[in-house]
Structure 1
Amino acid sequence: MGFERYISKGGKKYRLGYTTGTTAAGAAKAAAEMLLEQKTVKKILIETPAEIEVEMEVKDCFYSQDLARAAVVKDAGDDPDQTDGIKITVELKRIKIDEALAESKVILKAGEGIGRITKPGLQLDIGQAAVNPVPRQMIKKAVRDIFPENEVLELLIYAPAGVEIAKKTFNPKLGIKGGISILGTSGIVEPMSESAYKESLAVELRQAVALGYKKLILVFGNYGKKEALAAGFKEEQIIRMSNFVGFMLAKVDELEIDEIIMVGHIGKIVKVAGGIFNTHSKLADGRREIIAAHAALAGAEQKVIEAIFAINTAEEAVEYLLAHKLEKVLQNICEAVVSKVEAKLEKKIKCKSVIFTLNQGIVALSREAEEDFDFE
């Protein structure tokens, strides 16, 4: 049986899974143990950023004096994840160098089936392996927890099945070529039964009101939550919407709430500025069109508007706007979010909005939001 950890949503029980990041970290730790101790490892334990321990079965074990190899199969639990069941292999090799010059480090490389970044606007630089920052930390920590200092180790990750699996994901569109991404900020996969998940979000909303909060911060995910916590808001008043903006606004409308602040990454919140109230990419996009329209309204030149249409991600579009002194475009998008949300709520509840990016942090606030968030 797989990873036995469950969550209840909407009266139903769902089995949790673990991310490709946790999978790769498990394989890395197993390879490190075999290389150091020169013996086969059949099971491995990884502590995830969510503070949930995951025990995984180790496959394809091999070790010699200077090299070890181990594989772990990704288990997505009850989540319909494209990468469920993929085998991720790590090969760990000692690098022989002059010990007097040795600087302890783990050199991470990507092999077959692991994507590579080919376009800007993501969390990683062009040319890097598509192993996101948190999984990178997890993988390197997993090795360092086992191996002594003053060792230089080369760590190769590969997953041949990832070549075909990646074609079914958004990786090619985002400019991630050749395979899957190694992802996950919490290390754990929570099943996305839509109706049950939406109801669990609504429960959090009702609980916040029951605790006496009249001002709520609505975020799309973990990054928005971090921005709200950094601004001094209480965790209980920060409510996750995921992609279900319209659903959550309908629930807000049913409760005694005075004010909401929409805090979102540009790639999600810009859709709300265009009147899109389910932000899942399979249902609606229009990000470049909305940004370009606001650039045109702000008086941007034709070549600027054309450049925005050629840009790969919303994050990259923000970088472009800031480089061309067009901060006003982002301010106007904030105001458009407020206008669309207040219209949806028939102006019964006050709204403010905040836009951030992963690289720049907060980049724009709607009027009056300055009193809630520090921004220069």
Structure 2
Amino acid sequence: MSNASLPPPRAGYTLPVFACAGAVAALRCLVDGRDRPASVSLDLLNPPQPADIPIDQIAPLPDGSVLAITHSDPGDNLDLTRNTPIWSVVAWGSGDQAEPILLQGGEGVGQQVNRDHAPAIYQYARELIGHSLRPLIPEAKTVRVTIILPEGRALGDRTSNAAFGVIEGLSLLGTSGIAAPLSAPGQLDQSREILRAKAARYGHLVFCLGENGLDLAVKLGIDPDRRVKTANWLGPLLVEAGDLGAAGVLLLGYHGKLIKLAGGIFHTHHHIADGRQEIFAACCAAVGVPLPTIQDVLKAPTVEAGLGILRDRDGAMAQRVYQQIVERIDERAAAYVHAHTGRPLAVGTMVFDRQRQVVARSHLAEGLFNQVLVD
């Protein structure tokens, strides 16, 4: 079957949508015990469109609260949260509750270590739940909403959440209700179309893997229109940029992802390949890091933890290692593009840590950075 005959990749919804739908269903049952909807229609706010979300189970609990259960459907994505259950528990609030809705994170919802272990329930989730529940709350009443992800703790251990300061579970993250299929093969064609349009306007572009890079790019003063969200398709999109004759590409990403390119891995999804600690250890060896430290870096649970080990022992040594990493990414990326296109492409690399602080930038990145700033 040719690619042309394949259906387009199916979009799904982000975790906040399912949590909110469950909360709406539970609140409706709390208000009227006979109202046990099989599905809930929501206004997603961003984008402003409706979504019908199935409610798998709903029941009052002995303490007077109501539990509704949904299951995540991220669409045609390689997403480890697929089919994970989301429990939304709604109860009447206490008499001294000031706000109409008290939103809490239960088991499996991550904790933000840099915010006094507040639940990792971010702005979009809070806005969506508030918008959807307020019209349903009877006058003079308040409600307490608790989101539980029974599988969240185990799934969180398989993500890079800890690198961004979220522990013991998953985040209710996202700025949109739509889970665009960024990991699905059909999405690559859409990303290429976006890249072609931008390359027609600009010679120098910025590749960002995800939301953290896109957000940091703007904070660094980079022209927002030059950003291209690559998801895990870095290799094919670098080749596309080479084919289009782009003058240069600045890679801006989390070091725990981009380090894969230093080892020649150009599709960065963990289902495809990993080897990050091994690549990290090799770059340490290349600049003469003592063997005991290399061994500790190799055994570190994450690249972020390895960076912490280096910084604790010798800040200057850590900087040498990261300079080696970004320069090697540049070399491997340029060689990869040339091997597939026969054309040169200037690639510069900037990597940031979990605090979104730039750790290192290559020599080529210095020049490319100046090319992509807002005029």
**Which residue of structure 2 lines up, in the alignment, with residue 30 of structure 1?**
25
300-309 vs 264-273, greater mean Cα deviation: 300-309
The TM-score normalised by the length of structure 2 is 0.75
- Cα distance change of structure 1 residues 78 and 202 upon mapping to structure 2, 3 Å threshold: closer
Give the CA deviation at 1:124: 5.5
Shift of 1:148: 8.9
Counterpart for residue 18 of structure 1: 13
Is the contact made by 2:93 and 2:144 (CA closer than 8 Å) also made in structure 1?
Answer: yes
Equivalent residue number for residue 51 of structure 2: 54
Paired residue for 1:327, among 310, 319, 331? 319
* Residue segments in structure 1 that go unaligned for 5+ positions in a row: 1-8, 118-122
Q: Within 2, Cα distance between the matches of 1:217 and 1:44? A: 38
What is aligned with 1:359? 355
Say which SS state the counterpart of residue 294 (structure 1) adopts: helix
Aligned to 2:322, what secondary structure does the other structure show? helix
Aligned to 1:75: 73
CA RMSD across the alignment = 4.1
Superimposed CA distance per residue, residues 78-107 of structure 1 (whole angstroms, 9 cap, x where no aligned partner): 44655544542211234546x3xx554735
Out of 157, 162, 165, the residue aligned to residue 147 of structure 2 is 157
Instruction: Give yes or no for the alignment of 1:45 onto 2:42.
Output: yes
Q: Is 2:13–2:74's contact at 8 Å kept on the other side of the alignment?
A: yes
Match of 1:337 among 317, 320, 329: 329
* Aligned partner letter, 2:12: G
3-state SS of 2:74 partner: coil
TM-score, normalised to structure 1, is: 0.75
Gaps of 5+ in 2: 163-167
**Which deviates the most, 16-25 or 49-58?**
49-58
Distance 2:203 2:240 in 1: 14
Q: 1:126 to 1:318 in 2, by over 3 A?
A: farther
Structure with more helix by fraction: 2
| Residue pair 2:42, 2:132 contacting (<8 A) in 1 also | no
Query: Is residue 88 from structure 1 mapped to residue 83 from structure 2 by the alignment?
Result: no
Secondary structure of the structure 2 residue equivalent to 1:155: strand
Q: Percent identity?
A: 22
Offset at residue 292 of structure 1 (A): 2.2
CA, structure 1 residues 319+142, in 2 after alignment: closer, same or farther (shift >3 Å)?
farther
Q: Cα offset for 1:290?
A: 1.8
Any residues of structure 2 matched to 1:94-173 within 5 Å, and which? Answer: 94=92, 96=94, 99=96, 102=97, 104=99, 106=102, 108-111=104-107, 114=108, 133=122, 137=126, 141=130, 145=134, 154-158=144-148, 162=151, 171=157
Query: Is this contact kept in 1: 2:199–2:241, CA < 8 A?
Result: no
Whole-angstrom distance in 2 between the partners of 1:126 and 1:313? 21
In structure 2, C-alpha distance between the alignment counterparts of 1:311 and 1:149, rounded to whole Å: 54
**Equivalent residue letter for 1:69:** L
Whether the 8 Å CA contact 2:9–2:184 is kept in 1: the answer is no
**Contact 2:329-2:349 within 8 A present in 1 as well:** yes
Give the Cα–Cα distance (whole angstroms) in 1 for the partners of residues 127 and 302 of structure 2.
Answer: 26
User: Which one-letter code corresponds to 2:253 in the other structure?
Assistant: G
Q: 1:132 to 1:340 in 2, by over 3 A?
A: farther
Task: Please point out which of 287, 294, 301 is paired with 1:312.
Answer: 301
Aligned residue pairs, count? 351
